C-alpha cells in the first residue's frame, strides 16, 4: 500500500497556470421568467411540474395525477396536510417502519422537500440525510419534490455561492425522473430509480 508521500513524489511540478477569475452572475431575470425557465427545463428532462398557491394544497393537487390511491405506500419527509374533504385512508410509512434502506423497496410515493433550485438546468437540491435512509429517494416509484419559489436561482454558481451551508454534508441535484437511452438510443423514462418525478413550486 503506497503511502501519500511516496505517491505524491512521482508527480512533477510544472509551469504554473493561474486559476481563472470568472463569474456568470449577472443575468437579470424576472421571477416569472425564472419559474418558467425552470419548468421548461424540468419538463424537457421528462419531469412533470405543478404550481400551487399554498403548501397545504399539495396533497389534493397530487391526487389529480391519479397514482395517489389507497393502495399505495407513501412516505413524506415533512408533515403533509390532508384536507378533511379528502375521503379515504392512505397508508403512510412512518420513520419507525424504516429500520434499514431496503425497507423503502416497496415505497410507491415519496414526498420530499428540496432546499434550492436552479432554473437554467432544471435541477433541485436535496441535502443528504433528508430521509432516514436516502435510498428512499431512489427506490420510490413516484417522486414528488416540493420547492419554495423564493429558493429558485438562475444558475448553479449563484445557488452554490449564496448557500454554501447547504452543501456542507453533500446531497443530490435531481433533474427529473431516472432514465436511460442505452438501448439503441431510445429514450426510456424510468430506469432503476423513480419512474416519475414531479416538481411542485409554491
Partner 1 sequence: MKHQVLTKKFLGSEERVNWHNQALLHVRFKRDNTTQKIPEWEELREIASQIKLHVLSNIKKYIQQFYENAKRNGFIVHFAKNSEELNSIVYQILSQNNINKVVKSKSMLTEECGLNPYLESRGIEVIDTDLGERIVQLRKEHPSHIVLPAIHLKKEDVAETFAQHLNTDRNNANPTYLTREARKHLREKFLDAQAGITGVNFAIAETGGFVVCTNEGNADLGTTIPNIHIACMGVEKIIPKLKDLSIFLRILAPSATGQLITSYTTIFQRPNPNQTVHIVILDNGRSRILKHEDFRNSLKCIRCGACLNTCPVYRRSGGHSYHATIPGPIGSILNPHRNKTEFGDLPFASTLCGSCSNVCPVKIDIHNQLFLWRQELKDIQKMPKWIFSFLKNFFSEPKKLKILHKIARFTKKFMPRFIEKKIKRNLPEIPPKTFRQIYSEQYHDKIQ
Binding to partner 1 in span 124-143, by CB under 8 A: 128-129, 133-135, 137-139
Does residue 16 interact with partner 1 by CB under 8 A? yes
∠ CA 52-54-57, nearest 5°, is 75
Does residue 26 interact with partner 1 by CB under 8 A? no
* Residue choice 52, 72, 148, 193 for contact with partner 1 (CB under 8 A): 193
3-state secondary structure of 151: helix
Binding to partner 1 in span 59-98, by CB under 8 A: none
Closer CB to partner 1, 79 or 186, in the complex: 186
CB atoms within 10 A of CB 34: 18
Pairwise CA distance, residues 129 & 52, whole Å: 26
Closer CB to partner 1, 65 or 167, in the complex: 167
Which of 155, 147, 88, 84 is CA-nearest to residue 121?
A: 155
Pairwise CA distance, residues 167 & 137, whole Å: 18
Pairwise CA distance, residues 104 & 116, whole Å: 25
| Cβ 70 to partner 1 shortest distance, Å | 24
Beta-bridged to residue 188, according to DSSP, are 180
CA distances from 178 to 1, 174, 196 (A): 38, 9, 8
* Residue choice 65, 67, 92, 173 for contact with partner 1 (CB under 8 A): 173
3-state secondary structure of 28: coil
Give the total of residues touching partner 1 (CB under 8 A): 70
Stretch touching partner 1 by CB under 8 A, among 40-48, 53-61, 65-73, 76-84: 40-48
Pairwise CA distance, residues 160 & 130, whole Å: 18
Stretch touching partner 1 by CB under 8 A, among 49-57, 67-75, 82-90, 160-168: 160-168
| Cβ 71 to partner 1 shortest distance, Å | 20
Phi and psi for 186 in degrees, rounded to 5?
-85, 125
Stretch touching partner 1 by CB under 8 A, among 28-36, 63-71, 83-91, 150-158: 150-158
Binding region for partner 1 (CB under 8 A): 1-4, 6-8, 10-20, 22, 24, 41, 44-45, 101-102, 105, 120-123, 128-129, 133-135, 137-139, 155-157, 160-161, 164, 167-186, 188, 190-194
Amino acid at each position: 500500500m503506497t503511502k501519500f508521500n511516496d505517491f505524491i513524489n512521482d508527480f512533477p511540478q510544472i509551469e504554473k497556470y493561474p486559476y481563472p477569475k470568472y463569474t456568470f452572475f449577472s443575468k437579470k431575470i424576472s421571477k416569472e421568467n425564472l419559474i418558467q425557465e425552470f419548468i421548461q427545463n424540468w419538463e424537457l428532462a421528462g419531469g412533470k411540474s405543478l404550481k400551487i398557491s399554498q403548501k397545504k394544497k399539495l396533497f389534493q393537487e397530487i391526487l389529480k395525477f391519479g397514482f395517489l390511491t389507497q393502495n399505495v405506500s407513501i412516505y413524506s419527509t415533512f408533515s403533509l396536510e390532508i384536507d378533511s374533504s379528502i375521503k379515504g385512508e392512505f397508508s403512510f410509512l412512518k420513520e419507525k417502519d424504516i429500520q434499514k434502506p431496503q425497507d423503502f423497496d416497496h415505497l410507491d410515493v415519496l414526498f420530499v422537500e428540496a432546499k434550492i433550485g436552479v432554473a437554467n438546468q432544471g435541477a433541485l437540491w436535496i441535502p443528504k440525510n433528508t430521509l432516514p435512509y436516502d435510498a428512499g429517494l431512489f427506490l420510490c416509484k413516484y417522486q414528488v419534490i416540493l420547492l419554495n419559489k423564493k429558493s429558485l436561482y438562475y444558475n448553479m454558481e449563484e445557488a452554490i455561492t449564496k448557500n454554501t451551508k447547504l452543501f456542507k454534508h453533500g446531497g443530490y441535484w435531481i433533474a427529473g425522473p431516472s432514465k436511460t437511452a442505452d438501448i439503441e438510443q431510445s429514450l426510456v423514462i424510468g430506469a432503476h430509480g423513480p419512474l416519475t418525478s414531479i416538481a411542485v413550486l409554491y
